């Protein structure tokens, strides 16, 4: 039996416009690295460079691993886990989701578990620990790569599209938004017209991604279910959006529950990134920009 | 200048599961035939075999023609219009939509108007006369054929998919449902979870239609925005649904605002049709079944 696994799990952008709680995409970067070594002693977990919980039942990566091992009847396994965070926590780029997928996939590799449904389910349990809601819209794309739409976690029903060379600018402003707060700000009911608009927009997004006609994303990436409420938590959102579109972005939206914003671009990524960062700077807010593209899913880098 | 046009415009199924007010498909049959002849006298309209308004400003087919001619600056033209209804009014199979498209396309042919956006807009004005709401989810598929998702009427934004050989059983029970009543029964706001579910289902429908994997339609054709409210107007709906699925239908839903129900089938159309009709018969309700498939859009049959 192998005793060491090293896994890479990418950042993601959940919601992806009109797909609140349904759509997500994997990014080429940043990503988390999770290392897991089977041991005899009590299980441990450590995270660098961000200080995250060191209790295995409170850290999302180890929690996901434990959930998977428990479901597979391998709760007897003890491990030492190290999470190297490339994705900043509370960024809206699926930081906890990447760690959850890393933990679950590392455990899967060591325990010989191959069921996508089980791995995604376990990773979603980690998300539940982080946010109070085991939503799969970050973990599914981090696991599968590309674009994913999740209809149901149990039974697991997800569709995958790999939109080749979809270029994405993600800009992370120096603002803290907690996922719990971003969820609490949402209404329990929404106008029927907004639901209808999102169904239409989501349909156009699927079509554009499947045909590669990314220019059609345009206004189809607009959302009326979550962003109108959540953007209040991201100072400068409207200015960043206007600046991105002025700089030639094809589309613009909020990443996950924020504060990350993202734009779909052609070959003008750096200019769009500068425009967005400039808009935040106008509000006295620093930011980090990633000119990246849609990426592949989580992978086992080493298994020994 | 041509003085006579004969147009065929097919029945449609609007909403098509989770796409309330957005999705629609054209059926191969039934269809309406609209004949339009330019005359010198005052404009007239007549419909057979159903008694429909004979005032050109109250009949939807002539109203759509007038709307198009007015928009194109050809309000000077007078005509004699005859509508041969193949689609029963108030059926939930886009009866008014077929007549509207027939009227608009006949006028377009005679006046040399070729803009899809203008023709669909004019046809939607006829729908507005019929229902109080110029919704395009019947007229757009009747005009274009295949599957259509409409995001916006002005500016016109619609996507088209032609799902080859998508087989449809449509069953029209002997129940009257007025489109106005079916709209009035809908709530102004809906639970967020229902909106999210419809976005997910609609995404799966687009994917299934684009890939031809019609078995994936299955539960993705479920709707939580309109059918839970509207099915109360269609006695026997739940029994018909159960009977269709028991008989091997891939999916089942309400057509438009009802009372038509429809199923997606493989080569078991007649058995599914019998099962649905049997379920309605169990409630003492007669019905008419069509074993048909997705069809092409409206066309000009003669222009002289």
Shortest alpha-carbon distance between residue A29 and chain B (Å): 26
Mutation target among B203, B213, B229 for the A interface, most CBs of A within 10 A? B203
Q: Which residues of A touch B188 (CB under 8 A)?
A: 191-192
Listed residue (A63, A90, A13) closest to A264, CA to CA: A13
- The residue from A12, A84, A131, A179 that is catalytic is A179
Q: Is B213 on the interface with A (CB under 8 A)?
A: no
Q: Does A30 sit behind a cis peptide bond, omega within 30 degrees of 0 on the bond before it?
A: yes
Predicted confidence (pLDDT) per residue in A194-210, tens digit: 999 999 999 999 999 99
pLDDT of residue A194: 98
Predicted confidence (pLDDT) per residue in B202-241, tens digit: 999 999 999 999 999 998 999 999 999 999 999 999 999 9
Over B105-124, what HEC string results?
HHHHHHHCCCCHHHHHHHHH
The model carries a pTM of 0.93
pLDDT of residue B56: 96
- The residue from A12, A35, A84, A127 that is catalytic is A127
DSSP A236: T
Predicted confidence (pLDDT) per residue in A87-124, tens digit: 988 788 999 999 999 999 999 999 999 999 999 999 99
Contact B254, B237 (CB under 8 A): yes
What is the rounded distance in angstroms from the CA atom of residue A121 to the CA atom of residue B20? 31
ipTM score for this prediction: 0.93
Q: Is A213 on the interface with B (CB under 8 A)?
A: no
Structural domains of chain B, with CATH: 4-162+295-303 (3.30.230.10), 167-293 (3.30.70.890)
pLDDT of residue B98: 97
**DSSP per residue over B233-248, as a string?**
GSTTHHHHHHHHHHTT
Active-site annotation holds for B216: no
Shortest alpha-carbon distance between residue A112 and chain B (Å): 30
What is the rounded distance in angstroms from the CA atom of residue B169 to the CA atom of residue A2? 55
Shortest alpha-carbon distance between residue A22 and chain B (Å): 6
A218: nearest CA in chain B?
B157
For residue B180, pLDDT over 90 is answered with: no
Chain A 219-238, CB below 8 Å of chain B: which residues?
Answer: 220, 225
Instruction: Report CB contact under 8 Å: A199, B159.
Output: no
Active-site annotation holds for B127: yes
pLDDT of residue A43: 97
- The residue from B127, B131, B260, B292 that is catalytic is B127
Residue spans of chain A under pLDDT 70: none
Shortest alpha-carbon distance between residue B197 and chain A (Å): 7
What is the sign, positive or negative, of the torsion defined by CA atoms of A239, A243, A246, A250? negative
What is the rounded distance in angstroms from the CA atom of residue A187 to the CA atom of residue A111? 42
For residue B179, pLDDT over 80 is answered with: no
Least confident piece of the model among B76-80, B155-159, B180-184, B289-293: B180-184
A137: nearest CA in chain B?
B200
Contact B247, B271 (CB under 8 A): yes
Residue with tokens 């209404």: A187
């Amino acid at each position: 039996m192998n005793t060491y696994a090293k896994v890479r799990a990418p950042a993601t952008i959940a919601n992806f416009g009109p797909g609140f709680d349904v759509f997500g995409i994997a990014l080429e970067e940043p990503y988390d690295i999770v290392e897991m070594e089977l041991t005899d002693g009590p299980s441990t977990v450590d995270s660098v460079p961000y200080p995250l919980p060191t209790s295995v039942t409170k850290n999302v990566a180890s929690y996901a691993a434990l959930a998977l091992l428990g479901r597979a009847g391998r709760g007897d396994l003890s491990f030492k886990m190290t999470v190297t965070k490339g994705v900043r926590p509370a960024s809206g780029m699926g930081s906890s989701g990447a760690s959850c997928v890393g933990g679950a996939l590392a455990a899967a590799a060591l325990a010989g578990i191959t069921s996508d449904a089980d791995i995604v389910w376990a990773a979603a349990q980690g998300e539940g620990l982080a946010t109070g809601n085991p939503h799969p819209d970050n973990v599914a794309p981090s696991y599968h790569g590309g674009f994913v739409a999740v209809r149901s976690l149990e039974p697991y029903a997800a569709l995958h599209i790999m939109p080749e060379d979809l270029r994405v600018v993600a800009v992370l402003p120096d603002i803290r938004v907690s996922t719990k707060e971003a969820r609490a700000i949402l209404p329990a009911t929404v106008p029927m017209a907004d639901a209808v608009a999102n169904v239409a927009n989501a349909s156009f997004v699927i079509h554009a991604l499947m045909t590669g006609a990314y220019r059609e994303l345009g206004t189809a990436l607009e959302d009326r279910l979550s962003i109108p409420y959540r953007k209040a938590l991201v100072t400068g959102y409207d200015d960043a959006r206007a600046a991105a579109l002025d700089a030639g972005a094809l589309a613009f939206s909020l990443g996950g529950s924020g504060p990350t914003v993202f734009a779909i671009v052609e070959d003008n990524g750096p200019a769009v990134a500068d425009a967005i960062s400039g808009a935040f700077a106008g509000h006295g807010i620093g930011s980090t920009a990633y000119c990246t593209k849609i990426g592949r899913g989580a992978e086992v880098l080493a298994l020994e």
